[in-house]
Amino acid sequence: MHIVTGGAGFIGSAMVWKLNRMGIDDVWIVDDLGSGPKWKNISGLKFREVMPSNSFLNLLHQGKALPSGTESVIHMGACSSTTETDAEYLLRNNFEFSRYLAMLGIEAGARTLVASSAATYGGGEHGYRDGVELLYRLRPLNMYGYSKLLFDQWAASSGALGRIASLRFFNVYGPNEYHKGDMASLVFKAYGQIGATSRMGLFKSHRPDCGHGEQVRDFVYVKDIVDAMWWLLGHPEANGLFNVGSGRSESWNELARSVFAAMGREPAIDYIDMPLSIRGQYQYRTEADIARLRAAGYEGGFRPLREGVLDYVQNHLAKANPHINNADS
């Protein structure tokens, strides 16, 4: 049995899809479906159980162990809002629960993967190497990033990091993010903007050394993410911190051009002022150093931005039922 927390969310539901494609349907999905459209992410997927997070936590507290027969814990459940300011809420959800679940996974001998984030790197002043030597030098720009860093620091100091894989995801985009609202990728938002107005907006740069729209990110397609996770699931010897990104940085302008091209439109970009509330927390560059993942033995590819955006737009966003559970590729 495989437990996927956040299993109805973006990366979690994509991972359930991947498990199904690999012939695995003995899956427990742990997630809070709420009153929005998140349930559509698991409609059509195969699994044994779907359980709200509080019910799952109560079950763990009662048995003080994972359910019998658990082979893996794929912990994608967390608050993913980079603008969340409730520090206590983030500590409970992103640190304390993650730590508890990781300990239970280790005790049960279950393969354990935990979602971390590139937000741990802050402004990137120390680079983007995923070694433990940087753990106490990093200064995240928001409480979300700090909550993820706290888990990585605990995992390293406790020795747990030698028995689990903590995955630092970079800018992930792709199907099944439809429920995420403001936290959805710009690819998703741009598709809607362009469809409605034939134009899209990008934040201006507020640094003299960077042109408008030339801020860069490591954009990585969710289908490539779950391929890497599947490989890690089958290689329990590959433990520690792993950046999971494309290893390339590309500009927001290039992302915009990619969406326009996938939609068969000419680019029409408006540059707008960045809100004051996020200017001090804004990352102008991210680029995953994936040397550790490669050294561990992973040889899978990460699609260039244009290729990933083309698949996302034409095979998902443009379809009547755009979810990944209806994908052929």
The set of catalytic residues is 144, 180
Angle between helices 97-108 and 53-63 (to 10 degrees): 50
Q: Positive or negative, the Cα torsion across 297, 308, 214, 182?
A: negative
**Nearest alpha carbon to residue 39 among 57, 20, 52:** 52
Q: Round to the nearest angstrom and report the end-to-end CA distance of the chain.
A: 25
Partner residues linked to 270 by β-bridges: 201
**Rounded alpha-carbon distances, angstroms, from residue 1 to 15, 25, 68, 142:** 14, 8, 9, 35
Sign of CA dihedral 320, 324, 328, 329: positive
| CB-CB neighbours of 192 under 10 Å | 12
CA–CA gap between residue 190 and residue 202 (Å, rounded):
9
Give the separation between CA 232 and CA 235, rounded to whole angstroms.
Answer: 5
- 214 near 205, Cβ under 8 Å? yes
Residue pair 120/138 in contact (Cβ under 8 Å)? The answer is yes
In our burial notation (b when 16+ CB lie closer than 10 A, e otherwise), range 241-260 reads bbbbbbbbbbbbbbbbbbbb
Per-residue three-class SS string for 99-165: HHHHHHHHHHCCEEEEEEEHHHHCCCCCCCCCCHHHCCCCCCCCHHHHHHHHHHHHHHHHCHHHCCE
